[in-house]
């Protein structure tokens, strides 16, 4: 086990919309094989398998951001030592909130959704979620994406066959309530999706952006990371130019998983990887234009 750097031996995964904890299975197996304790639990109410949630999406429809955050906060607070928190998409927004609450030894956002204060919602993001967003009167519902929708949003760089396999293996309906909470975060001063950008005693934070991401474009990750520039805590950003939104299972995911873990074990170390931009330290970054 290669976790001597900061003493952390536990990793907590948080998945995003349209997915369950199953979406982390390659990373979970890779980290477990290296001797780490991995906690990979779905959002509360999503404990069943993907196939069962497709047949009965009522738990998805009832979900809320507050419930999800409370669920993971209880898990983390029950651990002996602070874990590495790794969140994908909406799970990356949850990770930011949890770090802001003083939890975790390090936080990694894989194509993380933005939190309150990041003003841009790119048109491509809206297009990727249009089926869920188009009727705001039915907020408490669960909407299943089609295979075509999923490919545009999550697997746009995959082959048609690989995209179809990912859809069948991982995709579930999305919670309109959770998505609307995210989209409206800047309109609601009481939103639970907010982080203290100036907090300097939080754990180190890494944004991993995908250059071909249709859900959370790299530009949104850059703007989100730049919000932390007044904090003296470590905030880093790296972009993998060829990665789609569902980078956790995209061919070559091993490189991204290894980079995330290496960074989390020693955030002060300068890292490099063959297929990504240089690691950028966000502290002192100029405001985004």
CATH number at residue 200: 3.40.50.1820
Token readout for 72 is: 């993971």
CB of 133 closer than 8 Å to CB of 184: no
| Cα 248 from Cα 140, distance rounded (Å) | 28
Q: What is the pLDDT of residue 1?
A: 42
Listed residue (2, 272, 257, 227) closest to 110, CA to CA? 257
- Spatial neighbors of 179 by CB under 8 A, at least 6 apart, are 17, 129, 132, 133
Q: Where are the beta strands (DSSP E) in the chain?
A: 10-14, 37-40, 84-88, 106-110, 142-143, 174-175, 205-210, 235-240, 280-281
Residue 218 lies in a domain: yes
Position 2 in a domain: no
Structural domain contains residue 5: no
Residue 175 lies in a domain: yes
- Give yes or no for a contact between 221 and 207, defined as CB atoms under 8 angstroms apart: yes
Domain residues for 226?
10-281
Within a domain: residue 289?
A: no
Query: Is 33 inside any structural domain?
Result: yes
* pTM for the predicted model, two decimal places: 0.91
In a domain, 55, yes or no: yes
Please report the pLDDT score of residue 228 as a whole number.
96
Least confident of 63-77, 124-138, 143-157: 124-138
Number of domains in the chain: 1
Least confident of 62-76, 94-108, 128-142: 128-142
- Categorize the per-residue pLDDT at 33 as very low, low, confident or very high, splitting at 50, 70 and 90: very high
Predicted pLDDT of residue 5:
43
pLDDT at 185 over 60: yes
Evaluate whether residue 123 is within a structural domain: yes
SS3 for 135? coil
Token output for 280 = 């950028």
79-88, 206-215, 274-283: range with lowest mean pLDDT? 274-283
Torsion (CA) 111, 275, 123, 92 in degrees, nearest 10: 10
Q: Select from 31, 23, 189 the least CA-distant residue to 92.
A: 23
Q: Give the pLDDT confidence of 205-230 residue by residue, as tens digits.
A: 999 999 999 999 999 999 999 999 99
- Calculate mean pLDDT across residues 59-64: 88
């Amino acid at each position: 086990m290669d976790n001597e750097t900061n003493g952390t031996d536990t990793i907590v995964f948080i998945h995003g919309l349209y997915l369950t904890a199953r979406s982390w299975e390659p990373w979970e197996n890779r980290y477990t094989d290296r001797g780490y304790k991995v906690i990979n639990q779905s959002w509360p109410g999503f404990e069943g398998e993907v196939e069962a949630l497709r047949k009965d999406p009522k738990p998805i429809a009832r979900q809320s951001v507050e419930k999800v955050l409370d669920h993971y906060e209880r898990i983390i607070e029950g651990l002996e030592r602070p874990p590495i928190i790794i969140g994908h998409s909406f799970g990356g927004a949850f990770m930011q909130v949890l770090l802001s609450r003083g939890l975790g030894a390090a936080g990694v956002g894989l194509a993380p959704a933005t939190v309150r204060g990041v003003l841009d919602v790119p048109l491509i993001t809206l297009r990727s979620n249009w089926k869920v967003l188009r009727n705001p009167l039915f907020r408490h519902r669960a909407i299943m994406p089609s295979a075509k929708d999923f490919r545009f949003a999550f697997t746009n760089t995959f082959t048609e066959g690989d995209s179809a396999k990912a859809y069948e293996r991982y995709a579930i309906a999305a919670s309109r309530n959770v998505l609307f909470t995210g989209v409206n975060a800047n309109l609601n001063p009481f939103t639970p999706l907010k982080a203290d950008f100036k907090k300097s005693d939080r754990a180190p934070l890494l944004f991993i952006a995908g250059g071909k991401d249709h859900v959370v474009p790299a530009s949104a990750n850059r703007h989100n990371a730049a919000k932390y520039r007044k904090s003296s805590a470590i905030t880093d950003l790296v972009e993998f130019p060829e990665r789609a939104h569902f980078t956790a299972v995209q061919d070559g995911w091993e490189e991204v998983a290894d980079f995330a873990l290496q960074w989390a074990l020693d955030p002060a170390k300068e890292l490099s990887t063959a297929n990504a931009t240089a690691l950028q330290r966000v502290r002192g970054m100029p405001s985004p234009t």
